Amino acid sequence: MTGLTVSGTVRDKTGNVTAWSASTDVSAGVKFGRNFASGTMGVLPAGMQVPTARIYFQPGDFTGTAQPTWTNQSLITEALGRGATSFVFSMKDATAAAMTKWVAFLRSIPAAYKANVWCVYMHEHEAKLRQGSLTFAQYDAGSDLVRAATQGEGFKFGPLHNGLNRNTADTAWIFGNYVEPTNLALCDFWALDCYDDNAKGAASLFFSATGWWPYAQATGKPIIIGEYGTPTGPNQATVAAGMKAECLARPQIKLVHYWDQWFTGNPDYRMTAATQTAWLG
To other proteins, the closest distance from the beta carbon of 28 in angstroms equals: 6
The only residue of 31, 218, 220, 281 in contact with other proteins, by rule CB under 8 A: 220
Residue 112 in the binding site for other proteins (CB under 8 A): no
Q: Which stretch binds other proteins (CB under 8 A): 22-30, 54-62, 158-166, 227-235?
A: 22-30
The three-point CA angle 246-78-28 to 5° equals 35
Residue 248 in the binding site for other proteins (CB under 8 A): no
To other proteins, the closest distance from the beta carbon of 20 in angstroms equals: 4
Q: How far apart are CA 110 and CA 229, in angstroms?
A: 30
Q: Is the Cβ of residue 9 or residue 74 nearer to other proteins in the bound state? A: 9
To other proteins, the closest distance from the beta carbon of 251 in angstroms equals: 5
Residue 22 in the binding site for other proteins (CB under 8 A): yes
Q: Cβ of 200: how many Cβ atoms within 10 Å? A: 15
Q: Cβ of 188: how many Cβ atoms within 10 Å? A: 19
Q: Is the Cβ of residue 46 or residue 218 nearer to other proteins in the bound state? A: 218
Residue 168 in the binding site for other proteins (CB under 8 A): no
Q: Which among 194, 256, 265, 191 has a CA at the least distance from the CA of 223?
A: 191
CB 127 within 8 A of CB 160: no
Could you give the C-alpha distances from 129 to 20, 146, 162, 168, in angstroms and in order? Answer: 39, 18, 11, 16
Residue 96 in the binding site for other proteins (CB under 8 A): no
Q: From start to end of the chain, where are the E strands?
A: 2-11, 17-26, 31-35, 40-41, 52-56, 86-91, 117-121, 156-157, 160-164, 190-195, 223-229, 253-258, 261-262
To other proteins, the closest distance from the beta carbon of 184 in angstroms equals: 12
Question: Which uninterrupted H or E stretch holds 12?
Answer: none
Count of residues that interact with other proteins, criterion CB under 8 A? 29
The only residue of 83, 154, 201, 251 in contact with other proteins, by rule CB under 8 A: 251
The only residue of 54, 125, 221, 244 in contact with other proteins, by rule CB under 8 A: 221
Q: Is the Cβ of residue 92 or residue 254 nearer to other proteins in the bound state? A: 254
CB 88 within 8 A of CB 52: yes
Q: Print the binding letters for residues 25-54 with other proteins: x by CB under 8 A, - otherwise.
A: xxxx--------------------------
- Which residues contribute to the site for other proteins (CB under 8 A)? 4-14, 16-28, 220-222, 251-252
